Structure 1
Amino acid sequence: MATVRVVHRQRALWRQCHRTAAIGICHLHTTTTSSSSSHASSSKEHYKVLVLGGGSGGITMSARMKRKLGAENVAIVEPSEMHYYQPIWTLVGAGAKGVASSGRPTASVVPSGVKWVRDKVQEINPDTNTVRTGNGMEISYQYLIVALGLQLHYEKIKGLPEIEDWVKFKIGSNYSVQTVEKTWSALQNFKEGNAVFSFPNTPVKCAGAPQKIMYLTDAYLRKTGKRAKANIVYNTSLPVLFGVKKYADALWEIVKSRDIQVNLRQNLIEVRADKQEAVFENLDNPGETKVFEYEMLHVTPPMGPNPEVKGSLLADEAGWLDVNKETLQHNKYPNVFGIGDCTNLPTSKTAAAVAAQSSILDRTISKVLKNEKPDSKYDGYTSCPLVTNYNAVILAEFDYSGQPLETFPIDQSKERWTMYHMKADVMPHLYWHGLLKGFWGGPGPYRKIMHLGMK
C-alpha cells in the first residue's frame, strides 16, 4: 500500500508540475523530511513555499502560507533564536517598558508544523530556484518569499565600533536589543548639557523613532526637574522634520513649544567618546562639519540592504529586493515575492506596512497559484505612532503619495492619550496574536467602516 501511495503522490506532483511549468518552477519531490542545522553540505530539500527571514514579514507569511497550502509544504530560514517586537523599543529606551517584554523565542512564533531551518541564508539563486544556507545545505523551492529585513551599520560611524562601554560614555540606540537599555541608562544619568539625537543619511526603519525618543527625553527631564539645565538637539539628515506635511506641521509646533533645537541636513559621521563629542557633516555643503559636545547621545545607525539580497539577481541597483510596488511580486522572477524592510517599495519601513503588505501579498500569491493575474493593489499604507510624551501619541498614517490615510474619523495630527494606549498596550497584543498568526492585514477594512464608507 505504501508503494501505491507514493506512486499516486508522484502522479499528483507530476500533474501539479505541468500546471506550473509555464514559469519553469517544477521540482518533483516525494519527501518533506527536514533538516536541522547539523545537516551535511550534500543535503537537499524542497518546499512549495520557502520563506527567507523570521521577522514580522516572514512569520506572518509563513502562517498565511500554512493555511493556504498545508504546513508540510512551507519552510522558513531564520538563524535567530529570539524574535523581537521592535516598535516597543522606543518605550524601552525611555524606561516605560522592560526589554524582556519585547522578545519571545522564535520557536514559539514559527507556525506549528512549518519547518524552521535554524540557519543563515548564504546565497539565493533564482535561476535554479534554490537557496544555500550557511552550513551548505541546499533548499529548492517552487515559490520564494523574501523577508530578510535590512542591516544596521553602526560601524559606518567613525569611532563608534571602538567604544566598548556605551553606558560609561552616555550613548544609546533604540535600534538594537543590545543597545536599547543603554539609552535608558544615559537618560537616567543625565545631569546637564546637550542631549543630541541623530537621523542618518540612509533609508531607515521607522523614520519617526529617532525623534520619538527625543520627545520622551524632554518629558523625562521635565518630570525629574533637569530640563532647565538641558539643551535638546535633533540633528537630521532630512530636509524636513517629517515626510508628511500634516504631521510635520504638528511636530514643528511641539518642537517650538518645548524649546527643542532642530538642525536639518546634518549627518552623524564620527563619535569621539573620550571627549563626549559628536561630529556632524553638513549635507548641503559636503566636507563642512560641526562638533557637538553631548551629555547624552542617541545614535540612529545608517542602514542598508541585506547583503544576501544585495548580492543576488533579485536586487535593484541600490541592493533592495526589486518588487512591483502594487502586487509585491518580483519584477523579473514571477515565482519570487517580497515583503517588509528588504524591499524597494517607496514607503516607510514599519511593522504597520508589513501588516498591510501581508494581506495584499496573500491575495497576489493566491492568484499566481491559479495561474491568474494578480489584481490586488498595495497603496503604500504605513503608520508611525509618533510618541510625543509618556501619555501622548500623534498617529501618522499615510500612503505612497505621502497623503494622510487615517483610520479614525478624528484629526490624528493631534496628541492623544488614547493613541498612546493603543501604541503601548493594544498594538503589541495585535502583533503577537494577530499579525504573526496571519490574521491581521492592517486597518484597511476598518477604515471604511469608521468613515462610513467615505474613505
Structure 2
Amino acid sequence: MALSVIRWQHLLWTRLHRVCEPSVCRLHATGCQQSKEHYKVLVLGGGSAGITMSARMKRKIGAENVAVVEPSEARNPLHRLIMHYYQPLWTLVGAGAKSLKTSGRSTASVMPSGVKWIKSCVQEINPDNSTVRTGDGKEISYQYLIVALGLKLQYEKIKGLPEGFEHPGIGSNYSLQTVNKTWAALQNFKEGNALFTFPNTPVKCAGAPQKIMYLSEAYLRKTGKRPKANIIYNTSLPVLFGVKKYADALWEIVKKRDLQVNLRHNLIEVRADKREAVFEKLDNPGETVTYEYEMLHVTPPMGPPDVLKGNPLADQGGWLDVDKDVLQHKRYPNVFGIGDCTNLPTSKTAAAVAAQSAVLDRTISKVMKNEQPDKKYDGYTSCPLVTSYNTVILAEFDYKQQPLETFPIDQGKERIIMYHMKATLMPHLYWHGLLRGLWGGPGPYRKIMHLGMK
C-alpha cells in the first residue's frame, strides 16, 4: 500500500513538473482544430519576465494589442489554480524562515488586466512566418514577439532523481515540490555530512546553492547540532563566486565557520536508499568520489526550454540568441528576449529581469518607430547572498563581473539591513513594482546614492 502511494505521488510530481514548465509542451497539433489570431505584441511565458513585459506593453500600445501565452489553471493536476511564485524567497522557505504559501499568488491575480491570456503552451515558434502554434492547435501571428520562456529544471539528468526525493534527508530549494523537503531534512538532521551541490550547467540565481548552506550551518549551530555536522559544498565551478570582491568575503565566512568547499565537483548520481551522492571530478575526467550524507541539498542541472532547441531563434546551446546590449534577436529584428531563456552573459536573476525590462521597453519603442535602439543593458544583476538568518552580502555586478553597487557603503560585508531588504522589501518590490512594469532596477537610484558619480 505504501509503495502504491509513493508511485502515485511520483506520477503526480512528474506530471506537475511537466505542466509547470513555462509555456512549453510536447503535444502535437495533429487532429486539432486550427484557428488564427493576431496581436501586435505576443509574449511567450507568464513568469517574472513575461508578466513584466506584458504590463509594460499594455501601457505602450493598449491591452487589446497584447497577448500572453501561458498554460491555464486546468493543466495543473494537483491545484485548482496555477500559482505564480516569487522564487527568490524559496531560499528562506527551505531554511524554515518563510512559509511556501507566502511566496505565491494566483497567476490570474498578477496577469495585467485586459491583456489576452492564451491558456495553452507553446508548441512551435516559426519566426520566418511570424507565427506561434500552441498546444491546442491555434496558430497565432504577431508583429512583435517577446520570448520570456524561462529555463527548464533537469533533475532527471542526475541518476537516481527525481525519484530520490521520495526518501528522507534530501531536498531542493529550486522546485515547488521539493523546497519543503529541504526544511524537513534540516530539521531531522542528527549527525554526519550536510552536503550542498552546484551543477555543471547555467543556473538561475547562482548564489542560491550556497545560501542554503550558510543558513543550514546557522540553524545547526542554533540547535546545538553543529559539532556533529560536517558541512560540505561541492561545486562544479572553479571559484566560490564569480565576482572576486564577493568571493573573497565568502571565503572568509567559509574559513570562519569551518565549512568544506570542493571546487570542480559535479553531482552525477544520488543513491537515496543508501544516502550516498556520487560526484565526478571535472579536472580528472572519469574519476568519481562518493559521499555519504545525512542531509543533501540538490541544485539541479538546468537548460533552455525544449521548444527553443533546434529553433532558428536559438544559439547552438539552445538559448535565445539576442544582442546583449539591446535584447533584440540577432537575426529576426521583430523578436526580442528577456530573462532566463536568453544567452545573455550575466547571472539569471529577478534583478536582472528588472534591469533588462527597462532596456527592452526602450528598445521596442525605438523599433516600433523604425529607429535604432539607443539604450544599452550593462549586464546588471544582483544576488543577495544570505549568510545567516539575519545577515546578507548584497552582491551587485555587471557583464564584466565588476561590482555595480547601489548603496554608498561597502556591500562586500555582512549586514543586517540587507537581510531585511532581501526578506521584506524585495518581495514587496517584486509584486507591486516589477510585475506591474513599474520597476526597472536601481540604476537611477544608484546615481543619486553616489551623487551622480557612478
SS in 2 for 1:275: coil
Supply the AA of the counterpart residue of 1:72: E
Query: What pairs with 1:222-371 in structure 2 (closer than 5 Å)?
Result: 222-371=221-370
The CA deviation at 1:163 is 2.6
CA distance in 2, matches of 1:135, 1:443: 40
Q: Match for residue 440 of structure 2?
A: 441
CA distance in 2, matches of 1:414, 1:41: 59
Contact 2:165 2:171 in 1 (8 A): no
1:50 is aligned to 2:42: yes
1:73 is aligned to 2:65: yes
CA distance in 2, matches of 1:118, 1:234: 41
Contact 1:386 1:394 in 2 (8 A): yes
Q: Match for residue 200 of structure 2?
A: 201
Unaligned runs of 5+ in 2: 1-28, 73-81
CA distance in 1, matches of 2:443, 2:309: 32
CA distance in 1, matches of 2:43, 2:316: 23
The CA deviation at 1:312 is 1.4
CA distance in 2, matches of 1:284, 1:326: 34
Q: Match for residue 62 of structure 1?
A: 54
Supply the AA of the counterpart residue of 2:100: V
Q: Match for residue 209 of structure 2?
A: 210
The CA deviation at 1:63 is 0.2
Contact 2:71 2:121 in 1 (8 A): yes
Contact 1:41 1:138 in 2 (8 A): no
Q: Match for residue 17 of structure 2?
A: none
Q: Match for residue 122 of structure 2?
A: 121
TM-score (norm 1): 0.90
Q: Match for residue 83 of structure 2?
A: 82
CA distance in 2, matches of 1:310, 1:417: 43
Could you list the structure 1 runs, at least 4 aligned residues long, displaced by more than 3 angstroms after superposition. none
SS in 2 for 1:270: strand
Supply the AA of the counterpart residue of 1:262: V
Query: What pairs with 1:104-119 in structure 2 (closer than 5 Å)?
Result: 104-119=105-120
Sequence identity, in percent?
81
Give per-residue Cα distances to partners, 1:73-95, cap 9 Å, x unaligned: 00000115211100000000000
CA distance in 2, matches of 1:427, 1:131: 34
SS in 2 for 1:263: strand
CA distance in 2, matches of 1:82, 1:162: 24
Q: Match for residue 164 of structure 2?
A: 163
The CA deviation at 1:40 is 5.6
Change beyond 3 A, Cα 1:295–1:164: closer
Supply the AA of the counterpart residue of 1:51: V
CA distance in 2, matches of 1:210, 1:100: 22
The CA deviation at 1:43 is 1.3
CA distance in 2, matches of 1:176, 1:311: 26
The CA deviation at 1:160 is 1.5
CA distance in 2, matches of 1:178, 1:397: 30
Give per-residue Cα distances to partners, 1:53-105, cap 9 Å, x unaligned: 00110000000000000000000001152111000000000000000111111
Q: Match for residue 18 of structure 2?
A: none
TM-score (norm 2): 0.91
Unaligned runs of 5+ in 1: 1-36
Give per-residue Cα distances to partners, 1:321-372, cap 9 Å, x unaligned: 0000000000000000000000000000000000000000000000001000
SS in 1 for 2:33: coil
- Count residues in correspondence: 416
Q: Match for residue 428 of structure 2?
A: 429
SS in 2 for 1:274: coil
Query: What pairs with 1:394-413 in structure 2 (closer than 5 Å)?
Result: 394-413=393-412
Supply the AA of the counterpart residue of 1:79: P
Supply the AA of the counterpart residue of 2:148: A
Contact 2:164 2:270 in 1 (8 A): no
SS in 2 for 1:452: coil
CA distance in 2, matches of 1:106, 1:41: 27
CA distance in 2, matches of 1:90, 1:60: 23
Give per-residue Cα distances to partners, 1:244-290, cap 9 Å, x unaligned: 00000000000000000000000000001111000000000011000
Contact 2:165 2:178 in 1 (8 A): no
SS in 2 for 1:407: coil
Contact 1:53 1:77 in 2 (8 A): yes
Q: Match for residue 147 of structure 2?
A: 146
CA distance in 2, matches of 1:83, 1:312: 27
Contact 2:164 2:271 in 1 (8 A): no
The CA deviation at 1:155 is 0.2
The CA deviation at 1:435 is 0.1
The CA deviation at 1:309 is 1.4
CA distance in 2, matches of 1:259, 1:111: 48
The CA deviation at 1:376 is 0.4
SS in 1 for 2:303: strand
Supply the AA of the counterpart residue of 1:64: R
Question: Which of the pair has more CA radius of gyration?
Answer: 1
Give per-residue Cα distances to partners, 1:370-412, cap 9 Å, x unaligned: 0000010000000000000000000000000000000000000
CA distance in 1, matches of 2:360, 2:348: 16
SS in 2 for 1:368: helix
The CA deviation at 1:164 is 5.5
SS in 2 for 1:163: helix
Contact 2:94 2:173 in 1 (8 A): yes
The CA deviation at 1:304 is 0.5
